[in-house]
Chains A and B, each alone.
Chain A
Amino acid sequence: MEATTREANGGPFRTYSEGAAIHLPGIDALTDQLVNGITLGMLYILVALGLNIILGLMGVINFSHGSFFMLGAYLTYQLNGAFKNIPGGFWWAILAAAVIVGLLGMAFESLLIRPLYKRIPEYTLLLTFGTALIFAQLVRKWWGDDAVRVDTPSYIPQSANVFGLQLPFYKDILLVIVTIVILTLVWLLLNKTNIGVIIKAGTRDAEMVKILGINMPLMFTLVFGIGSLMAGLAGALAAPVYAIQPNWASQWIVLTFAIVIVGGIGSFWGAIVGGLVIGIAQSLMALLFPPAVEVTAFLVMGIILLVRPRGLFGVEGLFE
């Protein structure tokens, strides 16, 4: 059986043929997988950064983050169909899906997470685990168990030639550019605006910021909204690349945890480096020893933990 492409096989992690043995790759295959890894890494970065911002400021582990990612993809599927006749409908669908997920995140925070702030952080993990179960079933009910797909509009070229490499245009070029733009925006938001300053100060000492007269509950809701929006956006951008399935949420959330642990909790650059490292490691493993693709992320995490217990960019004593 030949190794099949990710798209054809459904989930993002089925890149290989069954029962393949270890073999050494050629240079072409290596470049291919490296590019694949970077693309995958971009999506990982978006999801992990959203989780990391929420975790960093609020100390809330959002298990439903994967569900927001999945919802972003399904909403894009739904809206892409609805916006078929609008010029640029595809992009509006992505944007609308992300915004809806962001708003949903804000409502979610103020209704369910807020009563738990005074309590131990484990409860938010348990609560969001429960809501993740609910989201998964709702998605199954509305969109069915079978995978759905989103097609990129016809004006986006199939592939393009970059440095002599023939690359799928949307997946390997557009997606990377869009992600870099989003990351730049988030960096600017965190570092060059008042909101960013408050968020960063709140990460250090929420109480002190509250004393300075900042409406912290509002800030928390906003941050949760931004984090969810990023998850939704990642899902929306991933929608045309992979087949969308109800098990996306559980597949991605644990990986995201691994990325956050590798990068370090609450660190912007940690999420970026962690996402890229895991994405590339997984893609290379797909070449080297396919059955171990899924385990790779956790092995990398284990090694990093041994060397740096707080992750690559983590700070000692945060949220323990």
Chain B
Amino acid sequence: MSRQSRAAALFTHPLLWTALLIAVLPFVAGANPFAGQGGFVDIATTMIIFGLFASGFNLLFGHVGELSFGHAMFFTLGAYVTALYTKGFNVQVLGLTLQHGAAGNMVIALVLSLIFALLWAWLLARIIVPRSSGIYFSMITLAFAQVIFFITYRWNELTGGEDGMQSIARPQIFGIEWMNSSAHFYWFAAAVVFVTLCVLYWIINSPFGSVLHAIRENKQRARFLGYDVDKFRVNAFVLSAAFPAVAGWLWTYFQQAINPDAGSIEYSGNVVMMSLLGGSQTFLGPILGAALYHELQNGVSQATKYWEAWIGVVFVVFVLIGPRGIMGLIDDVRHYGIANAVRRLFSRRARVQTDLVEELPPLDEPVASEVSR
């Protein structure tokens, strides 16, 4: 590799841009230069936490080509486990008393969140993944997410029901309440998000990630190469649950409160939208998408009470004309120039060509043999 191309590779490295984005966000998020208003740290925190959530979801959506419509269940699991660990609980289950006092160790909270989310993901993956794919998979994940949602919504004694839990303490480092300031918490979250995203980047670019891409492009061919496709899909599903759980852990500490909304269909759908908005087949896409989504939400919700309708409009437009998202557009501009990139945006053929998954006839269906018979 020549020196120039190595410099170019460094310059376009997704992690560099992720770091830049994270560094800039608190100064620009929700900013309104015309009113002389700077950025809001709290909006930036939301953006990066959802960026992590969406990136984890996208490991499955963009890199394996499976649309899970229930990833909020892992987010809400991580969030609730953290909240319960921090605040303590005392419930009766089938005559047994479960109780736990309040505790403040954030590392233990993180480990517990991960354990619960990964166990649930593993259990689900064993049930769902070998049995379904495609839209069937989406429907089933959505339905199972409702199980978690209704548990958080209805189990009043444990979760506080519809109101959720409030006044959850932020973690202390060496006994100092350093994180109680919004700006301090942002940099803490930023560090966690960046490190976790580095792990994700490593996973995607590992041999394991390459097999996932092979499965996305053609499941049958990957199977012929000797890969146990279902095993890889199960592993990808479980791995992609870990990132929302970490995001949920951060979310509880950030909000210092938690309610069942965190596991609702809207949250699951919103991360799909963030991935689409940014570009689901790229590493940077979901992070960028999460930032754009919240920027948009912040802007529109100030203008109208019915802002969700406008989110819906953006959803529809992006599905119809730009499923490769902002990163896809940037890619096109780099390859074809601005004029041609815009032309491609409205060309149906280009859209079909660049769909997530190529539509090849599944080989396990007897296409030719039936005719010859």
Contact = CB atoms under 8 A, between A and B. Distances in A.
Contact of A294 (B154, B273, B276, B365): B154
Interface stretch (A120-128, A167-175, A191-199, A214-222): A120-128
Interface in A274-320: 291-292, 294-295, 297-299, 301-302, 305-306, 309, 317, 319-320
Contacts of A309: 131-132
A120 B356 contact: yes
A126 B272 contact: yes
A131 to B, nearest CB: 6
B88 interface: no
B135 A61 contact: yes
A301 to B, nearest CB: 6
Interface in A114-162: 115-116, 118-123, 125-127, 129-134, 136-138, 140-141
B138 A119 contact: no
A302 B144 contact: yes
Interface residues of A, number: 49
A137 B312 contact: yes
A59 interface: yes
B312 A257 contact: no
Contacts of B348: 115, 118
A187 B276 CA distance: 40
A3 to B, nearest CB: 15
B222 interface: no
Contacts of A261: 136, 139-140, 143
A250 interface: yes
Q: Which of A125, A138, A292 has the most CB of B within 10 A?
A: A125
Contact of B150 (A141, A294, A301, A317): A294
Contacts of A306: 127
Interface of B: 67, 69, 127-128, 131-136, 138-140, 142-144, 146-147, 150-151, 153-157, 265-266, 269, 272-273, 276, 306, 308-309, 311-316, 319-320, 323, 348, 351-352, 355-357, 359, 362, 365
Interface of A: 18-19, 59, 61, 112, 115-116, 118-123, 125-127, 129-134, 136-138, 140-141, 250, 254, 257-258, 260-261, 265, 291-292, 294-295, 297-299, 301-302, 305-306, 309, 317, 319-320
8 contacts: A115-B320, A119-B352, A120-B359, A126-B272, A130-B313, A250-B266, A298-B143, A305-B140
